[in-house]
Amino acid sequence: MKLLQEQAEENLGMVMIFTLVSAAQEKLNEIVDQIKTRREEEKKQKEKEAEEAEKSERNVVDGKQLFETDHNLDTSDIQFLEEAGNSVEVDESLFQEMDDLELEDEEDDPDYNPVHLDSD
């Protein structure tokens, strides 16, 4: 509207319908071009972001894959503890053989209830 008012003031006393319509059409074409350019830039930006996200997803390796590909990880925890001065020692007396454990016989257990399935 401001453009049309300026054009009308400049052309007072003359035939100005064509001039006003031409000025309005030119301004509208500029606005449409700006909108198109902005949409194209937004589309390119979205495509770029999607491509970057896709690349980063391809580069993500889960723990299992990392462990399978880097065999230094097999002993890395032990090396870390040794370097920190915390060596891991196992007290074998804490583990007993099955023969040394006092297990009740199944027949002596009052809760023991064998289920016999005949498959004849």
Q: What is the pLDDT of residues 79-111, one digit of tens each?
A: 777 777 666 677 777 776 666 666 656 566 666
Specify if 80 maps to a domain: yes
CA distance between the termini of the chain: 98
Cα–Cα distance measured from residue 99 to residue 103, given in angstroms and rounded to the nearest whole number: 9
C-beta separation of 7 from 16 below 8 A? yes
pLDDT value of residue 3: 87
Give the pLDDT confidence of 27-78 residue by residue, as tens digits.
999 999 999 999 999 999 999 998 888 777 777 777 777 777 777 766 777 7
Specify if 104 maps to a domain: no
Specify if 116 maps to a domain: no
Q: Does 22 have pLDDT greater than 80?
A: yes
C-beta separation of 23 from 7 below 8 A? yes
Residues of the domain holding 59: 2-84
- Could you give the number of structural domains in the chain? 1
C-alpha of 32 from chain center: 37
Specify if 89 maps to a domain: no
Specify if 98 maps to a domain: no
Phi then psi dihedrals of residue 23, to 5 deg: -65, -40
Specify if 112 maps to a domain: no
Specify if 119 maps to a domain: no
Provide DSSP, 57-110: HHH---HHHHHHH-TTHHHHHHHHHHHTT------GGGS--GGGS----TTT-T
pTM of the model: 0.39
Specify if 16 maps to a domain: yes
pLDDT value of residue 19: 87
